[in-house]
Amino acid sequence: MQSNAVLSSKDNVNIKRYQKLAASKKARQADGLFVLEGARLIGDALLEHARLDCLMITESAVEKYPALLAQADLKEVRLLVISNELGARIAQTEQPQGVFAVCRMPRQASYRPVLKQGGHFLILHELQDPGNLGMILRTADALGIDGVFLCGCCDVYSPKVIRATMGSVFRVPLWQELDTDKLLAAMKAAGVHTYAAVIDPEARELRSCDFDGTAAVMIGNEGNGIPAQVADACDFRLTIRMQGHINSLNAAMAAGIILWELQGGQI
């Protein structure tokens, strides 16, 4: 993992690739790559055996993160030392640490065998806020959810979502499935009970749901919730009863409450 010279040109192919991947979902999907920034996030990626294509670190950061460099060296990750000016140029955080990486997206295996193994799952339907998606993945990680399905959501590999997950993106099993009907049919065939989280006084109150057996809860779009036809395709409709005049919660907050109940109020 040796780097012979300090990169200082903004036109360097590695710098241009990093910036393109950071800015473009299309480029990320085409190359199967995404970017990471920050020592903790990159350290988590290495600990969870994510495949790093390269590690870029500024001159001033080299002495600050010897453990990270040693960790990357053990994984035989290609190292590039870049100038402090280039680091400031490509950074997207308010207080950049001067540590960046390009990471390969994990290969997505079939989810059908996983569904047959039992467990508790989360389905996110057309969630569009990167902060919400990242926070929900952190919550799913903390509560030991067995897998998360993304149906038409914002790009989970965008820098904003990746930062919001605080490393949980490397620990939570993820599947992307644009065809919600196909997913629900596969769950039904595998004996998974599906629950649509809705704002409806006629729906089953969350605390009355026992979630026996294999179960999956669906959380909908921040503004529009779950479309009626999709909610109707689920086995059950559930709701969080609220007091006062409020009738809805932030998607990430609602997901946290529901996942806590899904896991039986235990970690």
Q: What stretch of H or E contains 120? A: strand 120-125
Q: How far apart are CA 117 and CA 114, in angstroms?
A: 5
CATH superfamily for 13-104 is Ribosomal protein L30/S12 (3.30.1330.30)
The domains of the chain are located at: 13-104, 112-262
> What pLDDT score does 4 carry?
56
In angstroms, the CA 83 to CA 212 distance is 56
Phi, psi of 248 (to 5 degrees): -155, 160
What share of the chain in percent tops pLDDT 70? 96
Are 36 and 87 spatial neighbours (Cβ–Cβ below 8 Å)? no
Q: Identify the residue with better confidence: 202 or 38.
A: 38
Whether the domain at 13-104 and the domain at 112-262 fall into the same CATH topology: no
Q: Which superfamily does CATH assign the domain made up of 112-262 to?
A: SPOUT methyltransferase, trefoil knot domain (3.40.1280.10)
**Residue 105, pLDDT above cutoff 60:** yes
The 10s digit of each residue's pLDDT in 236-267 is 999 998 876 676 788 999 999 999 999 986 55
- Supply the pTM of this predicted model: 0.92
